[in-house]
């Protein structure tokens, strides 16, 4: 018997009951399509997240208050208020004897408030930052200027507006030297930032920037930092700088011996590694959930193949009577099972790729840098899984068919 013979027979049997065959492979189509979509969207989302993190800078070291595991985030990431990071820590880090490779450092605090200008009012987020902010993050002021070191520490009531926030508050006017009100306090606009877009999923163009001490004392009533960033002279010195920062902060916080750090230091490479690991776990978890529908589809295939065995007992008996061996019958039914899953898998892959492409087009229309990523691994995985399901769920019906007695089958009505 030629290899093409059972394939031709399988095709004829499928075409003889088209609707039933479609319902049989529907579970496979949904399962394979879901796996392709999840892997494509997961890979694209991961690339977007990593690109957003990279856009902050590859030679930055982040400092967060609160202890953490080496490969995990500190508690402050989850909203816990930790007050261990102070302005004095930044000053210590910037001393050459402590961290020789640090060339700039910025401290940050964040809040939300109602900002008013005449009849225009917005509830918006603001950041209190040090004057070194523009140097650390390599950003530019599009109009006017950024605040100075003296304004940073003297509680000066000056603000720099994000690109979009300036348009919202002053749609028809030049905002420079105009006044706005934040929490019933008057501030003078001294600058407007250049348009940046979303950075690390933060709408930086919608922010309002204030001098650090002004935000701390006048608006938030705190004396600590939410986080800090240190700019290193060379990417090759990141690890050394991170260790120097840890040693400096331990000394600043009087942490001796084996006492646990009350801060977390992460360089951009570590951040990328952590984010990549977390997104991989989420991606493959979702793939495993989507793959459950493949099992459901496999059960459907086994069920329909068992029905086919009962409907084709006379055919099986006749083939055995003219010399077909058990392995011929097993091979025939296994081929039919694999053909069903192959067609289902092929349609599922096409649908999955199409939907993934439409998702990419939609998200790009929302002004995100979304890549359309279909990996060869996902295609190979989809085909491998469908072939395995065809074999796995086709074995029992095939073995049952091979055990049919020719005499009993020819008498079967």
Evaluate if residue 200 carries a pLDDT over 80.
no
Could you tell me how many helices (H) and strands (E) the chain has, helices first? 13, 12
Lowest mean pLDDT among 13-27, 35-49, 233-247, 337-351: 13-27
DSSP code, position 194: P
In this structure, how many other beta carbons lie within 10 angstroms of the beta carbon of residue 359? 17
- Give the residue extent of every domain in the chain: 4-53+273-411, 83-89+103-231
Q: 378: pLDDT confidence band, cut at 50, 70 and 90?
A: confident
Strand-pair category, 185-193 with 158-161: parallel
Query: Of 97, 118, 110, 109, which Cα lies nearest the Cα of 175?
Result: 118
pLDDT of residue 404: 62
Mean pLDDT of 377-385: 75
Please check whether residue 38 is in contact with residue 373, taking contact to mean a CB–CB distance below 8 angstroms.
Answer: no
Pairwise CA distance, residues 341 & 302, whole Å? 11
Q: Which residue has the higher pLDDT, 66 or 403?
A: 66
Question: How big is the CA angle at 362 (ends 357 and 366), to the nearest 5 degrees?
Answer: 140
Using N-to-C axis directions, what is the helix angle for 18-56 and 376-402, rounded to 10°? 150
Mean pLDDT of 353-359: 89
Question: Within 13 Å of residue 91, how many CA atoms lie on the same side as its CB?
Answer: 6
Q: Which tens digits make up the pLDDT trace of 84-109?
A: 899 999 999 999 999 999 999 999 99
Strand-pair category, 141-144 with 179-182: unpaired
**What sign results for the dihedral spanned by CA atoms 377, 378, 380, 384?**
positive
Evaluate if residue 287 carries a pLDDT over 60.
yes
Q: Backbone phi, then psi, for 55, in 5-degree steps?
A: -65, -20
Please check whether residue 274 is in contact with residue 72, taking contact to mean a CB–CB distance below 8 angstroms.
Answer: yes
Query: Of 11, 128, 64, 52, which Cα lies nearest the Cα of 266?
Result: 64
Pairwise CA distance, residues 187 & 181, whole Å? 6
In this structure, how many other beta carbons lie within 10 angstroms of the beta carbon of residue 153? 15
Average pLDDT value for the chain: 78
Evaluate if residue 189 carries a pLDDT over 80.
yes
Percentage of the chain modeled with pLDDT above 70: 71
Lowest mean pLDDT among 205-209, 259-263, 322-326, 362-366: 322-326
Evaluate if residue 315 carries a pLDDT over 90.
no
Q: Which tens digits make up the pLDDT trace of 205-226?
A: 888 999 999 999 999 999 999 9
pLDDT of residue 183: 86
Q: Backbone phi, then psi, for 266, in 5-degree steps?
A: -135, 130
Mean pLDDT of 316-342: 71
Please check whether residue 11 is in contact with residue 326, taking contact to mean a CB–CB distance below 8 angstroms.
Answer: no
Q: Which tens digits make up the pLDDT trace of 127-162?
A: 999 999 988 887 889 999 999 999 998 999 999 998
Task: Tell me the whole-structure pTM to 2 decimals.
Answer: 0.59
Q: Backbone phi, then psi, for 73, in 5-degree steps?
A: -80, 155
pLDDT of residue 312: 64
Question: How big is the CA angle at 343 (ends 380 and 294), to the nearest 5 degrees?
Answer: 65
Q: Strand (E) positions, 92-176?
A: 102-117, 120-129, 141-144, 158-161
For 276-289, b/e burial (b = at least 16 CB within 10 A) is eeebeeebeebbee
């Amino acid at each position: 018997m030629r290899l093409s013979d059972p394939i031709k027979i399988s095709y004829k049997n499928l075409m003889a009951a088209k609707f039933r065959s479609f319902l049989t492979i529907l579970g496979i189509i949904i399962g394979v399509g879901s796996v392709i979509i999840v892997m494509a969207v997961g890979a694209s989302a991961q690339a977007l997240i990593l690109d957003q993190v990279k856009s902050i800078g590859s030679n930055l070291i982040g400092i967060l208050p609160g202890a953490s595991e080496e490969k995990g985030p500190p508690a402050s990431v989850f909203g816990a208020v930790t007050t261990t990071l102070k302005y004095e820590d930044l000053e210590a880090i910037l001393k050459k004897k402590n961290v020789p490779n640090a060339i700039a450092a910025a401290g940050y605090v964040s809040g939300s408030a109602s900002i008013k200008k005449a009849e225009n009012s917005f509830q918006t987020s603001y950041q209190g930052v040090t004057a070194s902010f523009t140097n650390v993050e390599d950003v530019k002021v599009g109009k006017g200027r950024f605040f100075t070191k003296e304004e940073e520490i003297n509680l000066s009531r000056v603000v720099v507006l994000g690109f979009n926030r300036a348009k919202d508050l002053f749609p028809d006017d030049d905002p420079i030297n105009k006044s706005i009100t934040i929490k019933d306090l008057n501030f003078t606009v001294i600058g407007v930032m250049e348009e940046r877009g979303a950075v690390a999923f933060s709408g930086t163009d919608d922010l309002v920037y204030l001098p650090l001490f002004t935000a701390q004392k006048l608006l938030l009533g705190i004396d600590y930092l939410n986080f800090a960033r240190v700019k290193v002279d060379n990417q090759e010195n990141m690890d050394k700088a991170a260790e120097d920062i840890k040693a400096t902060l331990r000394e600043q916080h009087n942490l001796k011996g084996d006492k646990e750090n009350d801060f977390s230091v992460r360089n951009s490479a570590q951040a990328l590694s952590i984010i990549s690991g977390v997104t991989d776990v989420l991606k493959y978890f979702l793939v495993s959930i989507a793959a459950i529908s493949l099992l459901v589809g496999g059960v459907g295939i086994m069920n329909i193949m068992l029905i086919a065995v009962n409907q084709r007992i006379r055919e099986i008996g006749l083939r055995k009577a003219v010399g077909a061996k058990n392995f011929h019958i097993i091979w025939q039914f296994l081929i039919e099972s694999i053909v069903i899953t192959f067609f289902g898998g092929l349609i599922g892959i096409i649908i999955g790729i199409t939907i993934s492409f439409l998702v990419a087009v939609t998200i790009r229309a929302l002004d995100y840098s979304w890549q359309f990523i279909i990996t060869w691994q996902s295609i190979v995985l989809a085909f491998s899984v469908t072939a395995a399901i065809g074999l796995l769920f086709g074995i029992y019906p095939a073995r049952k068919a091979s055990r049919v007695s020719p005499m009993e089958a020819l008498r079967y009505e």
